[in-house]
Structure 1
Amino acid sequence: MMTAKHDALKRNLTDTLSQPKSCNVVQPSCRPPTEGGTCFKCDPDWERHGNKCYRFLTEKLTWDQSRSRCEELGGHLVKIDSKDEQCFLDWTLIDKMDEAEDKFWIGLTDQVTEDEWLWVDGSKLDESLAFWNYGEPDNWREKNPDGEDCARMGEKGGAPDLKCWRDQDCNKPQKGVCEKTPSMGRVKFNCE
């Protein structure tokens, strides 16, 4: 009986590992070379991925309010710099969305000049790292004549092609994603 269970678990693990993955989102919180070394650490309520810490705001705020809230917390609305980062955020948001329209503000806007998308640090969007959903940005004006000048992201079931950005009226409350640089910590058995 135990052998049958073992064989079934082994088959399940083999099947799971053989399925293609679009990205790898597993990231250890700290993997120092030796005890007593240094590592990156994030403040409580922040999640680490790569060389950034992320905080997922659950309160629905306007884009400007979300930007201010991130700054109050010592960061800024997220600037997505790589496919790996987009993948991490896409998969992380699946568990943080309660419904399909439950999206998250990112730090991208064309409020200054229409169709010139800028990150919160003032840098231009690199089109090779743009993850707009099909037909987006569309600057839809039916509910607001000023259009949609702020970017949000998230797909309840995940976006298989990672294309889950949409433009939205900046005054429509959404959740938000903040980011900041991790601090350095000393290692004993875990990051402290």
Structure 2
Amino acid sequence: EVEMRALLCTALLITSATPDDPAVAKCGDYTLMENPTDGTKPCLKIYTDPLTWDQTQHKCASEFASLISINSPEEEKYFWRTAVSNKMVEGMHIGAHQLTDDISKWTWVDGEVPLDVRNWTNSHLVPGIGKCSAMQTDSTYATWINEDCDKTKLPFICRRIDYTTVSKDCPIKAPNAGEDIFSPGFPNSDTPCSYDFVAAKLHRIQLEVITMVASHTDLLEIWEGPYPNHTYPIPLYSLNGTNIGVKYESVLSNEMKVVWKPNGRGDGRNGEKGFRIRYTEVSGKYHD
């Protein structure tokens, strides 16, 4: 906890911005990247205090961000130059991780997208070392290594979306499985909204609340169903306050409803409030 509090004082910005700067509208207190390959996530913030991979991802998630994903050789060089220019020369965490026990299957933690760019040292991973990753910044080759998720401490960079791309309205159609879903008007989400998720037959819904920052009077309700003998969905959970990296799964149905009920001032920086969630389909028959 002491480390996390101290960390708030060591965030570095690459460039300064004025309140009228378009970059502020896009990125808030993050910095706008130069020519990102993934233009939907052009905002970043540098943290020089070393933490473990798990701690850094928790810190990024608390700001509606994730550890950096690298989508091209150009982005890799950009992040390497950024690290070196900020004296991060002994390595930094990156967002690639091994989600399952299959060492060949690595994804970016921001969306669990398979790696398009791979730059492992000697072109391979070291079995048994760890399921998380770091970039070696002491060389222009900027190669990657796998590392233990809760032991190795390194600095890091968080990356997040352009705020101006988030709709201020509730979605007209149901979001797709696997995509990030932000509350309407994020990061000042005062519009009530509901979301209906339906999985294929013999599948269930797994909902991940990546980040929720709200007051104790703002509610994110999770409902399940309908299903046989119940005409309407039944409530599973009611969340308020701050929630990071928690998952909920349907048990009796392949359907789930999420309802956002904002009622108070946010608990985030500058009164921010809202959520970032994602759902996936989980195989396994639900109970009839």
State whether TM-score is above 0.5. Answer: yes
1:60 to 43, 46, 50: 50
Q: Which residue of the partner structure matches residue 28 of structure 2?
A: 43
SS in 2 for 1:60: strand
- Residue 109 of structure 1 and its aligned partner are, at CA, apart by 0.7
Rounded Cα–Cα distance in structure 2 between residues aligned with 1:40 and 1:47: 6
Q: Which residue of the partner structure matches residue 168 of structure 1?
A: 147
Structure 2 residues not aligned, in runs of 5+: 1-14, 165-288
Structure number having the greater helix percentage = 1
- Residue 79 of structure 1 and its aligned partner are, at CA, apart by 1.1
Structure 1 residues not aligned, in runs of 5+: 1-27, 31-35, 142-146, 185-192
2:104 to 115, 139, 163: 115
- Residue 44 of structure 1 and its aligned partner are, at CA, apart by 3.1
Rounded Cα–Cα distance in structure 1 between residues aligned with 2:58 and 2:66: 8
1:155 to 107, 114, 137: 137
Cα 1:111–1:181 change in 2 (3 A) is closer
Contact 1:54 1:177 in 2 (8 A): yes
TM-score (norm 2): 0.43
Contact 1:149 1:170 in 2 (8 A): yes
Q: Which residue of the partner structure matches residue 71 of structure 2?
A: 81
Rounded Cα–Cα distance in structure 1 between residues aligned with 2:68 and 2:145: 15
Cα 1:118–1:59 change in 2 (3 A) is same
1:103-128 CA distance string (max 9 Å, x none): 111111114222211111111112xx
Contact 1:80 1:86 in 2 (8 A): yes
Cα 1:67–1:29 change in 2 (3 A) is same
Rounded Cα–Cα distance in structure 2 between residues aligned with 1:39 and 1:45: 12
User: Percent same amino acid at aligned positions?
Assistant: 21
Structure number having the greater strand percentage = 2
Contact 2:130 2:148 in 1 (8 A): yes
Rounded Cα–Cα distance in structure 2 between residues aligned with 1:137 and 1:47: 32
SS in 2 for 1:105: strand
Rounded Cα–Cα distance in structure 2 between residues aligned with 1:175 and 1:47: 19
RMSD: 2.8
Rounded Cα–Cα distance in structure 2 between residues aligned with 1:84 and 1:64: 26
Is it true that 1:93 corresponds to 2:83 in the alignment? yes
Contact 2:88 2:137 in 1 (8 A): no
- Residue 71 of structure 1 and its aligned partner are, at CA, apart by 0.9
Contact 2:23 2:31 in 1 (8 A): no
Q: Which residue of the partner structure matches residue 274 of structure 2?
A: none
Structure 1 moving runs of 4+ over 6 Å: none
Rounded Cα–Cα distance in structure 2 between residues aligned with 1:74 and 1:58: 19
TM-score (norm 1): 0.61
Cα 1:57–1:85 change in 2 (3 A) is same
Contact 1:77 1:176 in 2 (8 A): yes
1:1-59 CA distance string (max 9 Å, x none): xxxxxxxxxxxxxxxxxxxxxxxxxxx999xxxxx9x9444333535233311112212
Aligned residues: 139
